[in-house]
Structure 1
Amino acid sequence: MLLTVLGCSGSAPGPQAPSSGYLLEADGFALVVELGNGTLAELQAVRDPFTLGGLVFSHLHPDHCADFSALTVWRRWHPSPPCDPHTARLAVHAPKEAPTRFAAAYATDRAERETEILTDTYDFHPLAPGEREIGPFSVTTAEVAHPCDAYGFRFTHRGATLAYTGDTGVCDNMDELAAGVDVLLGEASWTHGSHHPAGVHMSGVELGELATRAKVGRLLITHVAPWTDPNAVLAEARSAYTGPVELVGKGARYDI
């Protein structure tokens, strides 16, 4: 598997830093996981958006899905598409409210919102705990701790494993998803402290502790908010996890 970071800014985009978005490739199949603010531009730099095999969204907060509307414009209004998006609908694996939420974001007025559900362009698959096949990937999905319908994932391909937290506080389901993986791509939105609400995000300490409990091979830190010191988060993670750990950045690529 090849992982390319399209964006990794948490909660909102930062200066020249798109929000969450990741491209996962194997056997010629391209899967985009999250498509937050600014990530479609970064995707175009490395891959034709028409060549995607599927999309996965952990949850429907804008920093993880705002560019879905831009992708819809791309697929519907490109003057010379290589395929008809109405007959080659793109698979979208997302929380069950995605069709109506994405239609509301794309539509220009109330009448259009009431009729536009985008199923002429996309093939929606609601997320649920369990396993599914997406292209060459075996994907395990579990609910995680966030103030909305939210999921974490474990991607497996030819024995290689990648776990992705999405947005979550500390929870048992994420421990199970991450157990023994080669790489954990995990969010740490803030530094550790009692003033943070539970069940929303993890600190650097909590992410490092998760990596240690799960005995992961490598930890990649993502989703650090623009107002948070990333080096402080990195230091926290290193205090709780002794394996290889680094902050991801836009454009970074990882062989898994």
Structure 2
Amino acid sequence: ISLFGNPECRLALISWVANDASDEAVEAMDRLIATQSDTYTNLIRHRAAEQRQKRVEEKFSPLMPSGLSKLLKDGPPNNIKDLKTLVLEEMEIAQRKLTGDDLDSVAEFWTDNGVPRDEIRCRDRLAALIGSELYRYGIERITEADMPHTKRVDLVFARGRMQLPVEIKGQWNKDVWDAAISQLDAQYLTEWRSEQHGIYCVLWFGEIQAKTNRRLKLHPEGLDAPQSAEEMRAMLIDRIPEARRAFIDVVVLDFTSGKA
């Protein structure tokens, strides 16, 4: 785009690429998103979201009667939406356990000094908490799964040709406010088996002392910090283009019950 000095030419080029739903055009938009931010970045992300929506609609196929029968019988997931629904249900159950269970599961995410553990430790404990219940559906849990362009996503739930990426960020991560789009959407949901669907999971520990380096990162637009996991979830959803909200589910898990 920098080769075109005329703003009208730049806008025309962005529109021309975004209106094409081919693999090559999608990859071209991903490359534009990955370039250094400028005044066109938000427009490019918006048009890329519309492009992916168009691509999904062109490839949509309705659920066949056989698949519907399996779903009604509580069988294994028949499509990526079913798979995502199951994972989200297990995450909800995990949240209930974290709020309070006889095993005190939430303690695994805090050190003895009352500091949240690092992202990798939290991810591994979370995967163990939600993955085992999915085995009965033949769903495999994979950490650090390979993605396009030599990238790796934190967690994947896979069955057959379906693969659901889950990106996990602690509240202290410098990219926590933008990773749903800049990382999960732009880098991982291009993987064909995801069919553009994924989950963005944030680990919420509430107010933490600054010296621990686990405090919530400030909102990029200077908004007041959320006071709860639900408030954070709403603010994160607001940062996702509307065209992508049906494909990217946001989960903010609350670990504050383990705070000393």
- TM-score, reference length from structure 2: 0.30
Higher percent of residues as strand: 1
The structure number with the bigger radius of gyration is 2
